[in-house]
Amino acid sequence: MTPDLPPAKTIIEPFRIKSVEPIRLLSAAERCRVLEEAGYNLFKLRSQDVTFDLLTDSGTSAMSARQWAGIMVGDESYAGSPSFQRFEAAVQGLTGLENVIPTHQGRSAEFLLMQALRLTKGDVVIGNTHFDTTRANIEHTGALALDLPCQETADTQSEAPFKGNIDLDALARFLQKDSRSVRLLIMTVTNNSVGGQPVSMENIRRARRIVEPLGIPMFLDVARFAENAFFIKKREKEFEGRHVREIAREMFSLCDGALMSAKKDAFGNIGGFLAIRNPELAESVRSLMVITEGFPTYGGLAGRDLEALAIGLEEILDEDYLTYRLRSTEYFGEGIRSAGIPVIRPIGGHAVYIDAGAALPHVPWREYPGQSLSVALYNGIGIRSVEVGSIMLGSRDPVTGEEQPAPRELVRLAIPRRVYTQSHVDYMVEMIGHLAKRLGELRGYAFTWQAPVLRHFTARFKPLG
Ligand code: F0G
């Protein structure tokens, strides 16, 4: 007999554990002491003092037994290594893009592309929302990095399924006014800066249709391409029955090239690549990269890294893994929301974003509610998160020097891949439930020292009142 049982409610990891690392469980008093010593800056903590490190999902994945086996057979030849050949074949097979150039991480791929395109002052690069390092690499050339996120993004509570989309009308309007200065369109999938929200195939197709006749190339930033493809499968009717590999392939078929930080959806601890259709552009990148990244068949990586990435790019397309990944992140977000703490809706792929401004209405933006909540998550539970609010993204009025707030005061809880178990998630949800009842007691913070740029990495703070 085939027992006809209902589907399980419990989420399980579709893998078992072969190798473990201890995590330290400090007392709340110990955590308060080490964070005070770190000037209340979570970036300055020793990671041994963190129980749940949700600072980033980048470079923090657990590699599989197959990837570790790949590490052992990595070939370290300076040029033409078989590990490069396997990496190249994996990227070509996945993307259909001919010219594959490894780089040491995502931002070096961005740097090389912007330099190879010879961007300069007066040029514009449009995106659904450029990630910070992409923006920095565009602006470094003197060009303008323009974000055109879709309207639905503005409402953090709307349940729109593809809040990572670009605003197609705004794109068309801008190009009608001025298409000559636009040198590149970058679609970031998923859209990290608006909450890890996916971009629909429809949106990628229509964006393509707008820029193609004007000769403007479209690149995809594919740091989290598999999560995006799986959201498409789940939310876009046309793709319901298609395998995620085919969906990814269709996304790639629409672009002129892709940039990847392989520290995310390739389960890599380091690495990235550029994959380019146009052979001349690829040749310019290859000539440039020798100065900084190294020879074009290793791009700043060891042969063993290339092996691990080639295997990771295959493993990420396992639909059981992706089902678990998106469900587990959603479950975490739902748990936090049920505790009464507002989160960006719907839950994205790689992270839960808490709306700290709404959670702590008694802390004004000048006293940094995101910082206050991040400190409480560490002191109370041992979770390291990151403030994505006025400390990280605030600006200064160019005339008065007066500080300006970020659009939102968020705290990001990014989930490393295959690292924490469901019982870890349950534990965090339970403890966040206790913390939720005490939010009224949390106080704001003030800077005691800050660097002139990228202040969030090194600043020191003091608690107020
Ligand atoms: N693009 C996106 C969408 C990213 O999220 C990142 C990194 C990069 C490019 C740059 O890649 O770090 O390999 O140089 N995001 C990390 C994060 C740092 O925490 O979200 P990289």
Domains within the chain, CATH numbers bracketed: 28-57+318-463 (3.90.1150.10), 65-315 (3.40.640.10)
DSSP lists the bridge partners of residue 443 as none
Residue minimizing CA distance to atom 1 of ligand 1: 131
Residue with tokens 């990630």: 131
pLDDT of residue 409: 96
pLDDT of residue 141: 96
The whole-number pLDDT of residue 396 equals: 86
The response to whether residue 103 sits with its C-beta less than 6 Å from ligand 1 reads no
Residue with tokens 């990095």: 145
Does residue 221 carry a catalytic annotation? yes
* Residue 444 structure tokens: 């704001």
368 noted as active-site residue? no
Place of tokens 């600006």: 395
Residue 40 catalytic? Answer: no
- Calculate how far, in angstroms, residue 56's C-alpha sits from the geometric centre of ligand 1: 9
User: Residue 70 to residues 221, 223, 269, 302, 409: CA-CA distances in angstroms?
Assistant: 26, 21, 14, 12, 42
Measure CA of the first residue to CA of the last residue in the chain; give whole Å.
67
CA geometry: angle 25, 27, 28, nearest 5 deg: 120
Burial of 407 (0-12, 13-18, 19+ CB in 10 A): exposed
Residue 270 confidence (pLDDT): 98
306 CA to centre of ligand 1 in angstroms: 19
In terms of Cα–Cα distance, which of 315, 304, 317, 354 is closest to 334? 354
Q: Of the residues 28, 65, 78, 362, which is catalytic?
A: 78
* pLDDT reported for residue 91: 98
For the chain of 465 residues, list the mean pLDDT of each consecutive stretch of 10.
88 96 95 98 97 98 98 96 98 98 98 98 97 94 97 94 98 96 98 94 98 98 98 98 98 98 98 98 97 96 98 98 97 97 97 97 97 98 97 88 92 98 97 98 97 91 94
DSSP strands (E only) in 89-231: 99-103, 124-127, 144-147, 182-188, 218-221
* Residue whose C-alpha is closest to residue 221's, from 300, 298, 129, 296: 129
CB 159 within 8 A of CB 215: no
Task: Give the pLDDT confidence score for residue 395 in this predicted structure.
Answer: 84
| Residue 278, phi-psi category: left (phi > 0), alpha (psi -120 to 50), beta (remainder) | beta
Cα 415 from chain centre = 10
